[in-house]
Amino acid sequence: MIYDAAGISLEETLAVKTEDRRPEVLALMGVPDAFTLEWQVLNEQYVRWEEWSYFDFGSRFDFVDGELLWTIDIDPAADGSIYAHTFDPMIFQPGMSPTDLKAAFPDLPFMEIPLEEADIPSGMLLVTDQFMAGFSEGYLVYVQTFIMSPTEPLAYDADLAHIPWAEGGGMR
């Protein structure tokens, strides 16, 4: 309905070439303090959804396929927080395997968590300090980094049944 009201179809919208604003944001702001990436299939095309948080600036940048959608105000992090600056969101690509991801970070000890018990038979998480990557059918579909705060617990839902990419099924 939203596309009808705008006078453009979803197919026409997806056919428009987007302008990648992420390099400009990286040049101005540096790597984000924390970020979330998710790949979904929409009309048989991969779509990359991203949220980049900059706590010292009180801002979050949201992107779809590199196009900046909007910025929103966020609360600053607690004093003494440790940001996830080790991780650059541009490194992560659709189709990466767990082996590819481990090769990108050879010095990190990853814990592998199969997701069969969460009714995601082809799912797996790779987890290390400040970082979690989700795989479906052997392919990267979700990445989240975390800040470590001296006053707050990690801000992710450990209940595997609520992993965002898991609810919509796998992607290939």
Between 10 and 56, whose confidence is greater?
A: 56
Burial class of 77 by CB neighbour count within 10 A (0 to 12, 13 to 18, 19+): buried
Using CA atoms, how far apart are residues 138 and 123, in angstroms rounded to an integer?
Answer: 7
- 169 pLDDT band, cuts 50/70/90, is very low
- 171 pLDDT band, cuts 50/70/90, is very low
The one-letter amino acid at 41: V
Q: Using the CB atoms, write b or e for 153-170: b if 16+ within 10 Å.
A: eeeeeeebeebebbeeeb
Each residue's pLDDT tens digit, 122-157: 889 999 989 999 998 889 999 999 998 887 555 555
H or E segment at 166? helix 164-167
Give me the mean pLDDT over the 16-42 stretch: 91
Each residue's pLDDT tens digit, 115-128: 877 677 788 999 99
- Closest residue by Cα to residue 160 from 137, 140, 139, 132: 132
